[in-house]
Amino acid sequence: MTKKTYERVGLTSGEYDRIVEILGREPNELELNLYGVMWSEHCSYKNSKPVLRIFPTSGERVLQGPGENAGIIDIGDGLAVVMKIESHNHPSAVEPYQGAATGAGGIIRDIFTMGARPIALLNSLRFGELSNDRTKYLFENAVAGIGDYGNCIGIPTVGGEIYFNDCYRGNPLVNAMCVGIIRHGDIKRGTASGAGNAVMIVGASTGRDGIGGASFASVELSEESQENRSAVQVGDPFMEKLLLEACLELFETGCVVGVQDLGAAGLTSACSETASRGSSGMNIDVSLVPRRETGMIPVEVMISESQERMLVIVEKGREEEVTGVFKKWGLNSSVIGRVTDDGMLTIRDGDEVVGRVPAKSLAEDAPVYYREYEKPAYLQQVGVLDEESLEVPKDLNGVLVGLLKSPNIACKEWVYRQYDYMVRTCTAVAPGSDAAVVRIRGTNKAIALTTDCNSRYCYLDPATGGAIAVAEAARNLICSGAQPLAVTDCLNFGNPEKPGVFWQFRQAVSGMSEACRVLGTPVISGNVSFYNETDTNAIFPTPVVGMVGLVEDTSHITTQGFKEEGDAVLLLGENTQEAGGSEYLKVVHGLEQGSAPRLDLDKEKRVQDCCLELIRAGVVKSAHDCSEGGIAVALAECCISGGIGAEIEFESRCRKDFLLFGEGQSRIVITACQSDLERIKDTAARLDVPCTVLGRVKGKELVIDIAGQREMEIAVEDMGTSWREAIGCIMG
């Protein structure tokens, strides 16, 4: 075995020595490839595992934490929500349509693998600035890919987020999240147990798709990978729809012992992980795997990432029940082997044994690296913000319109009207409010869903940025009338072998963990995506938080739009003088500098509790959190969504621009009937939450006075046009 061989499959010499030690001999070519894909960062989390251990992962509602295909959280009535987010960044950088489509396909399989019916999709997307033609191409095609897949399979895409920043020019991020619903008793797991039970592969046949995809996702993108198209899989949403219905029908027969989808590292990962979880072995024959292409050698069958396939472990003697169900849906199902009790993954090609390694060694024994970390030097420079040198703009109306037109803040309708967000007729709050809300049929409950991360804050201060991502997600759910329940995370970072990047990673995870603890939202599933950097630049640290909350009663569902003339506009929380990391600084002054906004988690919790208590008491008519663009943009969005104006008065003596556009945390704008004001103030006082009346809903304009001085006056219709049409105008 030459040195080159193990390097070609992405292993180090130390890792190779370890394999020889495990096997007591040199691995053959096929075996080496199995280790290559399974010990990649993408499959093994070898660089991130020690850090991920600090996440809180338990809680009384947690039915399944990290380590399975998806996490599960109890929502009462014998029902549970299954959730997971996953990255498909590298495939989307090369071929955005198929990369994004198969990202959606993969995450949907993770959900129905657990036995759940998928009910909603969300996407967290990041691209370079839209002034770049390549970025427009990536953006347009990633959106089309997500849309075509979700629309065809009939799962509504109800929410998500989209940001544009130059740091993503060479490394777009496509993170897909799926949520499903399940009865407690129906939960399936990816476990192979019971010697003699059948190992079956079902769904699409196997081709050379995405060969090397798993290791592909764990190397830096170079010029070469632009041509590496063979590593990209092609999605077939129709096939997946059939697979979904067939699997859910199959699970009802009770003959399924375990099930796992074939994702990264294909059959290799599905076989070794299920066997490992069941403390079993597996003996399979690759010649029995249905093929789409001719001349495939065993190693290609083992690592192929052909989409829309599942591995099902079936009780011995009940194989025909599986065949029957799959035949009804016009799908393949083949017995390819048996579960064994020897702990070995034995791979045959007909009668010939072509590979034999301990299943656990592939799935669990990858080396764990404690990477070096060091605070990166750039923080010295970007942390400084000379506020004095920044002029206060004279035309504050113009600043507001400029921010509303910034693609990071502008309405994302151009995107979501390409997604069928209504199919399944459960979408109670469509895209465009703080969080999407999906009712649970047969109950009076609903769930609220969001994804959040402001990566600029993470760039300036990864710990605070990570905590804010969690806090903002929770705040968005609260504003929709939901109690936040649990988190699924997608941690997108640069090359972890660089101490500065690894420092960002550790800091972000620690900040998120603390916020999760304080806000009572354990992390129940997730995904790490490293090496998001090109030869010249790395992305901002981007730890995306996907969060699900429970609306106890659908009458609590709240949206951001102002509702009725005369209602009081109130602020829960306090305005601050913070401008660091704001969209305002970027858009108006061209700066991505300063300190990330401060976050006091205890105060955040009090503000959120207060808002939810008021919503449940039935006194809140609209709620919207302050995020990018500050309180001015928040108020503008409330006006636009409600199609009605407001008169606002600030007493504050802060700098006007920082007051209006600064992104201080822990603030929620609510409206209520004048007659409920006392009650609201009492509740806020009891919970130690600052509460100020800002003004009232009125007319067709947003009017803002500061310290008695008229500073802004702008027609809601004009703001709406700027906000709604900005992205469509750029995309042509």
Partner 1 sequence: MKFGVVVFPGSNCDIDCYHALRDVLDQDTEYIWHMTKHLGFYDCIVLPGGFSYGSYLRGGAIARFSPVMDRVVEFAQSGKPVIGISNGFQVLTEAGLLPGAFLRNNSMKFVCENVYIRTENASTPFTKLCGEGQVLKIPIAHGDGNYYVDDRTLKDMEQNNQVVFRYCDAEGEATAESNPNGSLQNIAGICNREGNVVGMMPHPERCMEEILGNRDGTVIFKSVINYLKGGAVND
Q: Which residues contact 129 (CB under 8 A, 6 or more apart)?
A: 135, 164, 165, 166, 169
Total site size for partner 1, rule CB under 8 A: 31
Cβ atoms of 411 and 635 within 8 Å: the answer is no
Q: Judged by CB under 8 A, does residue 732 bind partner 1?
A: no
Residue from 88, 90, 556, 624 carrying the catalytic annotation: 88
Dist. CA 86–CA 525, nearest whole Å = 9
Q: Give me 373's structure tokens.
A: 């970390």
Interaction residues for partner 1, span 154-193 (CB under 8 A): 154
Among 121, 217, 296, 428, binds partner 1 (CB under 8 A): 428
590: alpha, beta or left, given left = phi > 0 and alpha = psi -120 to 50?
left
Q: Give me 66's structure tokens.
A: 């990290």
Dist. CA 399–CA 498, nearest whole Å = 39
Q: Judged by CB under 8 A, does residue 583 bind partner 1?
A: no
Q: Judged by CB under 8 A, does residue 242 bind partner 1?
A: yes
User: Which CB, 22 or 144, lies closer to partner 1?
Assistant: 144
The CB-of-205 to partner 1 minimum distance in angstroms stands at 16
How big is the chain, counted in residues? 732
Among 151, 253, 495, 721, binds partner 1 (CB under 8 A): 151
Residue from 42, 90, 556, 624 carrying the catalytic annotation: 42
> What is the dihedral angle through the alpha carbons of 89, 65, 513, 368, rounded to the nearest 10 degrees?
-70
Cβ atoms of 523 and 48 within 8 Å: the answer is no
| Residue 547: strand pairing partners | 450, 487
Q: Judged by CB under 8 A, does residue 152 bind partner 1?
A: yes
Q: Closest Cα to residue 166, out of 126, 133, 139?
A: 126
665 to 212, 461, 475, 576: CA distances (angstroms): 43, 15, 10, 9
Q: Judged by CB under 8 A, does residue 289 bind partner 1?
A: no
The CB-of-634 to partner 1 minimum distance in angstroms stands at 23
Work out whether strand 157-164 and strand 117-127 pair parallel, antiparallel, or are unpaired: parallel
The CB-of-440 to partner 1 minimum distance in angstroms stands at 11
Among 236, 300, 308, 701, binds partner 1 (CB under 8 A): 236
Among 297, 353, 392, 422, binds partner 1 (CB under 8 A): 422
Q: Judged by CB under 8 A, does residue 248 bind partner 1?
A: no
Q: Judged by CB under 8 A, does residue 330 bind partner 1?
A: yes
The CB-of-675 to partner 1 minimum distance in angstroms stands at 25
The CB-of-429 to partner 1 minimum distance in angstroms stands at 9
Cβ atoms of 490 and 546 within 8 Å: the answer is yes
Strand ranges inside 407-482, DSSP E: 427-429, 436-439, 446-452
Please, is 731 exposed, middle or buried when counting C-beta atoms within 10 Å of its C-beta (0-12, 13-18, 19+)? Answer: middle
| Binding track over 454-493 against partner 1, x by CB under 8 A | ----------------------------------------
Is 42 known to be catalytic? yes
| Binding track over 552-571 against partner 1, x by CB under 8 A | --x--x--------------
Q: Judged by CB under 8 A, does residue 148 bind partner 1?
A: yes
Alpha helices (H) along 480-600: 499-519, 583-589
Q: Judged by CB under 8 A, does residue 378 bind partner 1?
A: no
User: Which CB, 237 or 630, lies closer to partner 1?
Assistant: 237
User: Which CB, 422 or 729, lies closer to partner 1?
Assistant: 422
Cβ atoms of 460 and 383 within 8 Å: the answer is yes
Among 424, 586, 624, 696, binds partner 1 (CB under 8 A): 424
Of the ranges 41-49, 313-321, 411-419, 565-573, which one interacts with partner 1 (CB under 8 A)? Answer: 411-419
Please, is 103 exposed, middle or buried when counting C-beta atoms within 10 Å of its C-beta (0-12, 13-18, 19+)? Answer: buried
Of the ranges 130-138, 416-424, 626-634, 647-655, which one interacts with partner 1 (CB under 8 A)? Answer: 416-424
**Looking at beta carbons, which pairs linking 461-464 to residues 24 or more positions away fall under 8 Å?**
461/379, 461/383, 461/507, 461/595, 461/596, 462/503, 462/504, 462/505, 462/507, 462/508, 462/511, 462/541, 462/543, 463/507, 463/508, 463/510, 463/511, 464/511, 464/596, 464/597, 464/598, 464/599
Q: Judged by CB under 8 A, does residue 427 bind partner 1?
A: yes
Of the ranges 63-71, 235-243, 281-289, 628-636, which one interacts with partner 1 (CB under 8 A)? Answer: 235-243
Among 55, 164, 168, 419, binds partner 1 (CB under 8 A): 419
Question: Catalytic residues, which ones?
Answer: 42, 88
Contact set with partner 1 (CB under 8 A): 144, 147-148, 151-154, 236-239, 241-242, 329-330, 416-425, 427-428, 439, 441, 554, 557
